[in-house]
Structure 1
Amino acid sequence: MSKLAAWDSNPLKCFADFIAGPDFALTSSRQRDLAPKPLSPESAAIYRFMFGKFAAWMLEERLKMSTVTGRDLQRFVALAHDGQRDLNSKIAYRYLRLLERCYDYLERAPNPARDAIVGIDRAQIARDAPMTALNADELQRFMAALPGQRADDDNKASGWKRRRDRAMQVTMALAGLRVAEAIGLLVDEVGRQPDIEGALVLNITPEQKHRTSYEHTTTLPKEGVAELTAWLSERAELNIPGALVFPANLEGEPLHKATVYRQVKATFGRAGLAVSRAGGRTLRNTFASQQLRQGTPQSELTTVLGLALERSAEAYKYAKVNEETSAPEAGPTAKDA
């Protein structure tokens, strides 16, 4: 069986074998060593995740490595990640460069990934906007606009979901959790007792979370501990089955990420914060940016965030953060008039 036929038959296994051996390093334009250096386990995991998404897309589209065209690949990178991926984004370019190396190894000519790269505006890639993070004043406004603060929320039958959302958003903002990590957070991963500073340890494991999550430990500061512990107490009183800290319903089923996005976006709206990405990613960016500004070493932040590579944490140095200003006092509202 030819290499290309083998990749058509089992692309995931063939790709895993490819990146585990010396051939992958030899396809790199940067590789100049006589003895190619093997990939680190962390880098290999990232590449396998990326190729896994491509393989799943090929299956959905009834395509194979031997039949994919350059136009198909442009369609893949433009529509990847819930249809929000810009063809000129950096991740689109990285996908195509990875696939270009695969097709070089398979000796397919012309190389469809190289053809697809021609359609990317390299100058536009360099102008990608930096990630957005809130400054301290904006974070305070976000926290003041959290759900679950209205008087009618005292009714546990109708208000428990708002109090769940409140505790979840506090945990995301102050502990730096990914949305998938918040959705999949387990009761047993929450520390039993606060430490001497009043903070609560969260031991994050990949179980029931995003498959790119790595086991790591982060800390919810005392400012957020009361919200989380109050919710856990209410969750126990409601007798919600299962192990999820923030379940979707009283049956203990998991939340959908789109639901979390809508709830976080609503909080941004109530706070009057106009940001380019009003979702959980901005909260995580805010946590990471603040950690760096407070002097947390980049290597330590990498561990706290559960990142595979230290250079991934470096991007948070360049997050777009507005200059902090004191929030103006609230004026009279129409209700007061």
Structure 2
Amino acid sequence: MSRSLARLVLPITLAVIGLAPAAAATFTLPTDGSTVVGQVLVVEPTGNNTLPDIARHYDIGYEEIARANPEQSVWTPHGAVVVPRQFILPPKPWQGVVLNIPQRRLYYFPATTKGQPPQQVITYPISIAREGWSTPLGATRIKAKFKDPAWFVPKSIRDEHLREDGVELPEYFPPGPDNPMGMLAMQTGFPGIFIHATNRPWGVGLRTSHGCLHLYPEDAAQIFPQMKVGTPVRVIDEPVLVGNDGGRWVMATFEPVDEYPDKVPLEQRVAQALSTVPLPPDEIDQERVTQLTTTPQPVPVALSASELGLDDWLSELPVEPYNFEPYGIDANNALLPRLPASEEIELP
């Protein structure tokens, strides 16, 4: 996204009250050869919670929770809701930031003692570029960090909004809760591409940007102070992931991004991924593979026919009550969500 920034330093402390905090997805990296972290949850919401409410609480994006619950109403879910909080890690190297565009997810591997491998991974859902736009693939670094950025809207984006939405954007957004850049932004070495918060958090997990990667405001507040200038960033296009979950070989698939050139057909990507799985071909459940190829599924599915299929596996998970208050439409801005007084958040 071609965006100009004004670095306006306006220290802001948000001590706000009301909601339970989102569950940041921080995991210890496996040391037994596994490449899967986290666990799938099944919850039963009460009150007026929506799928986006549940997704934000568990640090999941819109596309992830919608794909995991194809039969659920987005706005009035009832009964069991699957929370796809188990992740197949991206291909190594595990260092710095890895952004998997089709997965719509950022992985951050914090540096440890010099010369030692990372011990943790922190992962966040992201919004990716809208149709007709794309984020460059390849390696870069964090070039600069901005607190309370202002945004000078490029003419190309103003023209696009006017043409497609009939909305004339202002030429300038000052720092504040209505700024599309959010309150924290990290500039990459790719021209005009930032990893930043957003004033429309309900769009996290969708295709909403012009190349930038959008984070929930609370996720930006967590990662911003940790990520140093110079942190390596790798952007990948991996719509098919296979992983070792403690000896259980699994696969997850995501909607391919058509804007990238030389796109390999999804069927071929699946075949390439399966070639790395040390299971006899006749042991792999081809019906599950076909389903994963035709219908993206963020929940890792067991490949071996001797393991439970997705529906049976999910049916064995306990159902936990989800009693948190909805975020509400008032939370659709760049501010941090309301938290209990004991959970005060301060923007870095």
TM over 0.5: no
TM-score after normalising by structure 2: 0.22
Higher relative contact order, chain-length normalized (CA < 8 Å, sep 6+): 2
Bigger helix fraction: 1
TM-score after normalising by structure 1: 0.23
Bigger strand fraction: 2
Larger Rg: 1
